[in-house]
Amino acid sequence: MREVPFSIPVSGVVRIDGDQATIIVNRAETIISLWPETMPGKQTLLEPGKTMYDVLLETAREVVQRKGFNRFSAPELYHEALEKYPGLKRGSFMSRVIACTPDHSSYKHYTSTRDYFSRIGPGFFKLNEQYRAEETVDEKRNLLKP
């Protein structure tokens, strides 16, 4: 077998228009999207700078304020958060609840040092006082005044 090196002059153009690039070489044209496509349920898209922990704390505050007392379950938080963020994965969300509960027996398996929740019984949690919404704390103080 023998190889013979050669070259062919090729001219081309690359056009970038918004979120797509068009590559034209001789008469062949290819269009490439510049934004990554994600499959539904494969990746949770949150607002820039927002983490799953932020969603968890925000949801817990809303649930406590709506219910009027500080007791909830992890599935209850998940279903509430699912309304705002439909792409949330249940397992990821539930594991973060445990990662934010220092008195849970599985907390030791997580590197998170968050202490948003306390475990008050099998399957039930409460939001620690320092993380409760200001309005809820103020309402509680007003109720205690004579």
- pLDDT, one tens digit for every residue, the chain (146 residues): 788 888 888 888 888 888 888 888 887 888 888 765 555 545 556 778 888 999 999 999 999 999 999 999 999 999 999 998 888 889 999 999 999 999 999 999 998 889 999 999 898 999 999 988 765 444 555 555 55
Tell me the C-alpha distance between 92 and 58, whole Å. 16
Phi, psi of 128 (to 5 degrees): -65, 145
pLDDT at 85: 87
The pLDDT of residue 136: 46
Chain centroid to CA 130? 23
Cβ-contact 98, 110 below 8 angstroms: yes
pLDDT of 50 reads: 87
pLDDT score for 135? 54
The per-residue DSSP string of 108-140 comes to GG-------EEEEETTEEEE-GGGS-HHHHHHH
The verdict on pTM exceeding 0.85 is: no
H-assigned helices in 2-124: 52-67, 74-84, 90-99
Question: What structural domains and CATH numbers belong to the chain?
Answer: 11-36 (no CATH), 52-144 (1.10.10)
